[in-house]
Amino acid sequence: MDRGAASQADATRFAALARTPARIVLALVAAILLAAALFYTPSEPEDRTVVARPVSTLQQGPSSSAADGTDPGKRDDDLALYDAITARVAAGENYYRVAVEEQRARNFPVRPGFAVRLPTLATVSAAIGPTGIALAALLLAAITAAAWWVRLTPILDRPVRRVMAVGLLAVGAAVGFKPIYFVLHEAWAGMLLALALALHRPGKWRGAWVAAALALAIREHALPFVLLMGALAAWRREWRELAFWGLLVAAFLTLLAWHVQTVAVLTGPDDPLSSSWLTLRGPNGWLEYIILCSGLYLIPQWLGAPLALLPLLGWAALRRPLGLEAFLLFAGYGLLFMLAGRANNFYWGLMVTPAWFVGIYWVPFALRDLLNRARGRAT
């Protein structure tokens, strides 16, 4: 491929901007990144449950270090809770009775019913055991990587470029999707959403539907993805696809109502009540969820905070349906993280981090086109 053809293939949405709009976009990007660098403030660690510190520092059991002063022989409260529930379900006990008893005994909230996780992950984990879960994780990771390779083939012409982009997928998934966190519902749901995003394209949505349905069965936080896919299908007037996304939402809401009612039967007014998830933490909430669920916690916060946002620029620049879908999806979750979730819910970030950083690939091309257009040059 000659240089002119390569340049055309790498052109972003910003290549068509006039000078003034390009300068406005550049100024806006610079202002957002600077504000993130200057004003991001990590939350103080909390005293109970999983504290607000990086996912990769959650205690792994007796072999863990305890640089933060916690007992090195004690697994973090949330992880230990899920361990106990899975073990008892594997022994033949009823999931709902076990979940309520374990959460009540550990002073975890059980009201409202949303405070008790959906039974899918614990039930499957109990049925297939640790070896089965490890094999399922390996299979899911391999399928997700392969799906992204196929999805990126028409977009990135050279294998080396696809290797780079899929490598960014691995970077995003590396912190949260590993054996010690297989009890975390968000880890599985996030990988399934990354798979669904890779599988979805206009006119070809069935594989994405199945992956999203599995994610939704594990964690209700996958619902924004389903709603977005339905909205985009309506916008394209793909009525059959819209009907299937709508059917999935209806089925999920029905099952969720049954889940909440089942928990309500086992609880009473004296049981622990969850505090509100509507916390209005603003940009700090968004940034913290991404940073603590990725390797960005390893670098100074003034650098990690803007790097957490840069993938959005890359996704916005990509001139393909994938770029629009990913940008809307991740911006939507960013808005959710600004409005809802406490500091000790930071692992919600695992819902998006597996595919989040793939957007970094297009950032250099986006900046190139913005700078060229701001100077009045052709791209």
* Average pLDDT of span 67-74: 42
Alpha-carbon distance 302 to 337, whole Å?
20
Counting every residue written for the chain, the total comes to 379
Closest residue by Cα to residue 331 from 363, 286, 277, 301: 286
Structure confidence by residue, pLDDT tens digits, 23-40: 999 999 999 999 999 999
What per-residue confidence (pLDDT) applies to 195? Answer: 98
What per-residue confidence (pLDDT) applies to 342? Answer: 85
Q: Is the pLDDT of residue 44 over 80?
A: no
Structure confidence by residue, pLDDT tens digits, 78-126: 899 999 999 999 999 999 999 999 999 999 999 998 999 999 999 999 9
Closest residue by Cα to residue 171 from 295, 320, 66, 37: 295
- Give Cα separations from 178 to 36, 140, 225 (angstroms): 29, 12, 23
Closest residue by Cα to residue 183 from 112, 244, 134, 145: 134
3-state DSSP call for residue 251? helix
3-state DSSP call for residue 174? helix
* Average pLDDT of span 255-278: 91
Q: Which amino acid is located at 224 in the chain?
A: P
3-state DSSP call for residue 321? helix
Number of Cβ within 10 Å of residue 238's Cβ equals: 18
Q: What does the domain layout of the chain look like in residue ranges?
A: 60-374
Whole-prediction pTM: 0.90
In contact, 37 and 287? CB cutoff 8 Å = no
Q: Is the pLDDT of residue 8 over 80?
A: no
Structure confidence by residue, pLDDT tens digits, 356-367: 999 999 999 999
Structure confidence by residue, pLDDT tens digits, 115-127: 999 999 999 999 9
What per-residue confidence (pLDDT) applies to 304? Answer: 95
When the pLDDT of each residue in the chain is averaged and rounded to a whole number, the result is 89
Instruction: Tell me what percent of the residues of the chain surpass a pLDDT of 90.
Output: 77
What per-residue confidence (pLDDT) applies to 271? Answer: 87
Q: Is the pLDDT of residue 66 over 60?
A: no
